[in-house]
Amino acid sequence: MTSASHQLDSTDRRIIAALDDDPRVPIMMLAQQLGLARGTVQSRLEKLTAAGVLRANSTRVRPDALGYPVHASVDAQVEQSRLLEAVSALEEIDEVLECLAPAGDTDLRLRVAAKDTDDLYRVSEKIRLCPGITRTSTTLFLRQLIPYRTTGLLDAD
């Protein structure tokens, strides 16, 4: 979770934009590229990580590159008294990439990956059988039209 109190300054924004271009750039090269001291970049990265601003590196790996080309959204209805139990069980399903608590008619919205449609059925069943989940609805994503992105937000005010 991102700290709501962490304010990004122009240096933070420059570092984040450079990392978006090349997330594996060594700190020394990043510092040289931005005209900053290595220690400044290192301490800023540590603060950004501690504040929850930077996502884990594994979020940059595309599931289809790992043999999971089928992507879907699964909405789940949950017995409210068992919400934490359901989320704990969902964390144990490797194919669940993300779990959100939306406003509206559904309790949980999951982003999942699968090997094929039969595998998606298996994953959906694992989700449906989690403790506290009473009903699910699965929507298959046919194509990604706009990839996940945040760089444009760095310039938005």
Same domain, 77 and 29: no
pLDDT in tens, 126-151: 999 999 999 999 999 999 999 888 88
pLDDT tens, position by position, 59-85: 778 899 999 999 999 999 999 999 999
Residue 68 lies in domain: 63-141
Instruction: Evaluate whether residue 157 is within a structural domain.
Output: no
118 domain-assigned: yes
Residue 90 and residue 137: Cα distance in Å, rounded?
15
Residues 25 and 91 in one domain: no
List of residues 6+ apart from 87 with CB closer than 8 A? 99, 108
Same domain, 37 and 99: no
pLDDT tens readout for residues 23-57: 889 999 999 999 999 999 999 999 998 888 887 77
Q: Are residues 31 and 93 in the same domain?
A: no
Q: What is residue 155's predicted lDDT score, i.e. its pLDDT?
A: 77
Within-domain flag for 153: no
Encoding tokens for residue 94?
Answer: 């490797």
Tens digit of each residue's pLDDT (9 = 90 or more) over 86-115: 999 999 999 999 999 999 999 999 999 999
Task: Name the pLDDT band for 2 (thresholds 50, 70, 90).
Answer: very low
Is 37 in the same domain as 73?
Answer: no
50 and 86 co-located in one domain: no
Q: What pLDDT, on a 0 to 100 scale, did the predictor assign at position 1?
A: 45
Per-residue model confidence (pLDDT) at position 157: 60
Beta bridge mates, 72: 112, 140
Q: Is residue 34 part of a domain?
A: yes
Give CA torsion, residues 27, 29, 34, 40, to 10 deg. Answer: 30
pTM attached to this predicted model: 0.79
pLDDT at residue number 4:
53
Cα 55 → chain centroid: 7
Residues 82 and 133 in one domain: yes
Residue 44 confidence (pLDDT): 94
